[in-house]
Structure 1
């Protein structure tokens, strides 16, 4: 099976990859690209090679040590995987580098100012999204010459509202930030709130002045044949879970 790369409306090479087309086995079967997953190192290496070949052959894949922060790394040169910096987003204007974001329910966000030749990639779980990871990514792109009104963004596969049950403390945190955030919550069948991460991230992007925002509306939790999901693995009592990768690079 070939690697599946879902595309957004960018002309620059990119793709939101799922679990199809990889060599990992067991609970992480498929295209697991996460070095922190505990997967076999040879399988990880082969999956990473396949991911690069599917999006920008010959490019250097860059990952960061994601911590659910609002920290952005400006990339000027590649690094070894073992020496990857901490952060939850990367931006660059350098060619031949493939920015990779790992997710398993959190929202991957890809950015491009095609006119300026500046790209970005961000990991937006609820903590990072709430803390402003998309805002800091946009600001870092502007430091490289991007224009906010020229940046396009796409929100990739993530856990959907129907699958994302939270508690009242979670909802209160968002309502304390803004009463407008009530729009991202509905009550589930057992009375607990459900959160729409994708819509919240898209709204943060629009509020930041991003005019082109695309959402893919693909639920990682509900589609085990296509995506890894931390929450699904937890609910099933599985001991491990894989991570899919979202990629963007300048040729």
Structure 2
């Protein structure tokens, strides 16, 4: 059975942060792997994506995902995509299209301005957030008639600070951008530092003037039964990893 996490703040817009439970994949991809870029069996991925589409009550071809590249590029959808463009966020005002974001530690961020009838979804890893993907998503939504002061964004399951160890070069790159970024880091072991990705995402959204934003407080690294994690896979020496999907529709 599928497990779908939701946020009251996004109501009444239909959405869900799917865990790995209830899928057709096996082995290291056990469960609901929705990543066509993985080495999982394409048939299993197609079954998993069809199950997600059915849960949102649309045909499989109306479930839209991107070829994510850790950019700040946003695509505006008015009809189903023929190919997956290289981008990391989508917006639409078209009912019946399901915007889907694939993650395995990065932040899936779902946006909604229900009054304006505009939604968005973003893949927001540290590079994307640093380069402005969240602000770009809000701007693209405004181009469709949304008001950022009336917009809600919810960050779904992602890696937490306790599990996100980085080196000094990573920290320096952030501090060079702004000394205020020091607040997103905590001391780790030796020269390692712990980075708070969801806090960084929340801060950028609030600074952009969003009406409301929150994180679901689920850590992908810490809960292998429910979530895929790129970093956990790397630490275990596994060959590949599954991708979680987070979706929203009008």
- Per the shorter chain, which TM-score range? over 0.9
Asked if structure 1 preserves the Cα contact closer than 8 Å seen for 2:106 and 2:123, the reply is yes
Give the CA deviation at 1:191: 4.2
Give the CA deviation at 1:176: 1.2
Q: Find the residue that maps to 1:73 and give its secondary structure.
A: strand
Asked if structure 1 preserves the Cα contact closer than 8 Å seen for 2:58 and 2:96, the reply is no
Asked if structure 2 preserves the Cα contact closer than 8 Å seen for 1:13 and 1:56, the reply is no
Asked if structure 1 preserves the Cα contact closer than 8 Å seen for 2:185 and 2:193, the reply is yes
Q: Bigger CA drift: 155-164 or 181-190?
A: 181-190
Asked if structure 1 preserves the Cα contact closer than 8 Å seen for 2:159 and 2:197, the reply is yes
Q: Find the residue that maps to 2:166 and give its secondary structure.
A: coil
1:114-151: CA deviation from partner (whole Å, max 9, x where unpaired) = 00000000000011011010000000000000001011
Give the distance between the partners of 1:57 and 1:78, measured in 2 at CA. Answer: 12
Give the CA deviation at 1:247: 0.1
Give the CA deviation at 1:63: 0.6
Give the distance between the partners of 1:159 and 1:111, measured in 2 at CA. Answer: 20
Q: Does 1:75 align with 2:74?
A: no
Give the distance between the partners of 1:54 and 1:186, measured in 2 at CA. Answer: 39
Asked if structure 2 preserves the Cα contact closer than 8 Å seen for 1:151 and 1:212, the reply is yes
Q: Find the residue that maps to 2:227 and give its secondary structure.
A: coil
1:16-60: CA deviation from partner (whole Å, max 9, x where unpaired) = 111011010000110000000011111111100111222344471
- When normalised by structure 2's length, the TM-score is 0.96
Give the distance between the partners of 2:187 and 2:56, measured in 1 at CA. Answer: 39
Asked if structure 2 preserves the Cα contact closer than 8 Å seen for 1:5 and 1:54, the reply is no
Give the CA deviation at 1:84: 1.1
Give the CA deviation at 1:77: 1.1
Q: Does 1:239 align with 2:239?
A: yes
Asked if structure 1 preserves the Cα contact closer than 8 Å seen for 2:119 and 2:248, the reply is yes
Structure 1 gaps of 5+ residues are: none
Q: Does 1:51 align with 2:55?
A: no
Asked if structure 1 preserves the Cα contact closer than 8 Å seen for 2:167 and 2:191, the reply is no
Asked if structure 2 preserves the Cα contact closer than 8 Å seen for 1:56 and 1:98, the reply is no
Where does residue 148 of structure 2 map in the other structure? 148
Q: Does 1:4 align with 2:37?
A: no
Q: Find the residue that maps to 2:119 and give its secondary structure.
A: strand
Asked if structure 1 preserves the Cα contact closer than 8 Å seen for 2:152 and 2:212, the reply is yes
Asked if structure 1 preserves the Cα contact closer than 8 Å seen for 2:14 and 2:56, the reply is yes
Structure 2 gaps of 5+ residues are: none
Counting matched residue pairs gives 247
Q: Bigger CA drift: 5-14 or 189-198?
A: 189-198
Where does residue 211 of structure 1 map in the other structure? 211
Give the distance between the partners of 1:39 and 1:79, measured in 2 at CA. Answer: 23
Give the distance between the partners of 2:178 and 2:18, measured in 1 at CA. Answer: 33
Asked if structure 1 preserves the Cα contact closer than 8 Å seen for 2:168 and 2:191, the reply is no
Q: Find the residue that maps to 2:165 and give its secondary structure.
A: coil
Give the distance between the partners of 1:124 and 1:244, measured in 2 at CA. Answer: 14
Asked if structure 1 preserves the Cα contact closer than 8 Å seen for 2:109 and 2:124, the reply is yes
Where does residue 110 of structure 1 map in the other structure? 110
Give the distance between the partners of 2:30 and 2:96, measured in 1 at CA. Answer: 29
Give the distance between the partners of 1:174 and 1:55, measured in 2 at CA. Answer: 38
